Amino acid sequence: MQWTVVLLVCFSLIVEGQNPIGLRALSYLRGILFGTAVGVDKLRTRADDDEYNLNITNNYYLIVPGSELKPTHLWWGDNIYNWSDPDWLVGSTEKSTGWVQQNKMQLRGHNLVWPKDNRIPKWLLEQESSITPDKAKSLLSDYIHAVVSRYRGKIPWWDVVNEAIDDSNNNSRPFNLRDSFWFRKLGPDFIKYAFLYAHESDPDAELYYNDYDIQNLGLKANRTIEFVYLVKI
């Protein structure tokens, strides 16, 4: 199995009063998958008299939920999940549809593992002292299989691991990885396990490592390249 680091450059445009057919149509004609982050609560409540929804559907083909697919939002306990928002977006079963399909859009899954303690579900940190490495591996497997399998075929891209590398100078951890629950329990292998479990759950999905400030040469970019080559999957 192979996986890839992709550098995404995000920018914003002032579109009001311009391009009356919408950026979505213009980008489609040019073969560009143009997208944006969204607040699902704003979509669901039709914020600003539905102007928020209209702006999204008129200008973008791809959306990335801001928080609603992150572990802190979805994962409430061992085998306890909050499916409300993602089910609303893409449907809860293989044949059901959600807002994304109804508006002929696509969704990118962001993210399955965010190895920073302030992005780890609180219940995991509270139980950390009693969780063995084997149990941590089992929990990670159960979570990723539950999420990716539920939306198999509906979410074609997943950011599997997000922002795993520290911004500071070299630390004592391999690849300058951040200190986090997953590193403390599984070492750098948590990255390998995460990608394996995601691939098992949806072999057709494209899997990504996501980070920032790695577009330029430097310590962080170098560490990213090192673990991409050295962490075997």
- Higher-pLDDT residue of 170 and 201 is 201
Locate 220 and state its tokens.
Answer: 């962080």
pLDDT of 17 over the 50 cut: no
**How confident is residue 55, by pLDDT bands cut at 50, 70 and 90?**
very high
Coil, strand or helix at 158: strand
Enumerate the β-bridge partners of residue 113: 161
Query: Cis peptide before 111, with omega less than 30 degrees from 0?
Result: yes
| Residue 207 CA neighbour count, 13 Å, CB half | 26
23 within 8 A of 34, measured Cβ to Cβ: yes
Domains and CATH numbers, the chain: 4-230 (3.20.20.80)
What's the DSSP call for residue 151?
T
Q: What are the distances in angstroms from CA 194 to CA 12, 111, 166, 184?
A: 31, 11, 19, 15
Q: Which token pair is 89?
A: 């977006």
Per-residue pLDDT reduced to its tens digit, 141-198: 999 999 999 999 999 999 999 999 998 877 889 999 999 999 999 999 999 999 999 9
